[in-house]
Structure 1
């Protein structure tokens, strides 16, 4: 896969793309960034509602009401099966003979666009009816209680993009990622 960075292009048609929200080791600059089987159409900083847990090696997402920062990776719809198969293997989801480590879920992911940066302390969600800003994305929730596996609940912190729970803690410390 080619080197990828955040893109200013937001895909226009939801019918033509599939979106994956990632918040940990599959993000740009993290240890599994190169595990994606194809180069995405684009990658954008984004957030979802949930509760984020972390430990040194990787994070865990569960349902909740925090704003959890991560990335939306956009692929052509025709690549759905290939990308999903690889991500399911990485996340130990639907693997014969193995209990799920993560469960694949669909979430509403909200892109963070440059206009959001003008008021990062009071960042409000964009019009979630706008299909360019809010997308249905596949994501992975930790299948069991993360606290039982040595994770700690992460709290929201101020980042260059606003207040989010992020893993690792230093993620989004500068606006140079845009």
Structure 2
């Protein structure tokens, strides 16, 4: 059983949840210190030190080894020292120190815009609502 904190498309109801759904043994809400960035169809997190920075909402999943391997593939994590897209880093929950586990994170924003707020899901939904209200292009 492996704990992993998810904050974006791996959340239940999001586009990549199917990757880990059948390998998830349990889940519970949590928060970690960091900042979310908008990468288009998915977010990235840049972690802050424990007790520093913004809080990011997500869920702690307990997954099987196969579930972790599937998440590694999705996040393009090949191992320590490899040319990874995301790094897999051990973190602790900001409110419940006994909860800790892996998270997929970037070292910096890579030029992506910061997301205001704590939740990728709320941000994505508000972005979708704004797009639906935008006037159609008359050309």
Q: Please report the TM-score for the alignment, with normalisation by the length of structure 2.
A: 0.74
Any residues of structure 2 matched to 1:29-178 within 5 Å, and which? 29-36=13-20, 38-64=22-48, 65-75=53-63, 79-80=64-65, 82-94=66-78, 99-109=83-93, 125-126=95-96, 128=97, 134-143=98-107, 145-148=108-111, 151-156=112-117, 165-168=118-121, 169=123
Q: Which runs of 5+ in 2 are unaligned?
A: 126-139
- Structure 1 unaligned segments of length 5 or more: list them: 1-16, 111-124, 129-133, 157-164, 172-178
Distance 1:45 1:37, change over 3 A: closer
Q: Is the 8 A contact 1:60 1:142 kept in 2?
A: yes
Equivalent pair of 2:2/2:68 in contact (CA under 8 Å): no
Measured in 2, the distance between the counterparts of 1:166 and 1:37 equals 20
Contact 1:27 1:33 in 2 (8 A): yes
For residues 147 and 39 of structure 1, the distance between their equivalents in structure 2, rounded to whole angstroms, comes to 31
Displacement of 1:37 in angstroms is 6.4
Secondary structure of the residue aligned to 1:30 is: coil
Name which of structure 1's ranges 58-67 and 35-44 shifts more when overlaid on structure 2. Answer: 35-44
Per-residue deviation, residues 97-139 of structure 1 (Å, max 9, x unmatched): x7211000000025xxxxxxxxxxxxxx35x3xxxxx311111
Higher mean alpha-carbon deviation, 20-29 vs 32-41, is at 32-41
Q: CA RMSD in A?
A: 2.2
Distance 1:139 1:107 in 2: 7
How far apart, in 2, do the equivalents of 1:56 and 1:46 lie?
Answer: 24
Q: Which runs of 4+ in 1 moved over 2 A?
A: 145-148
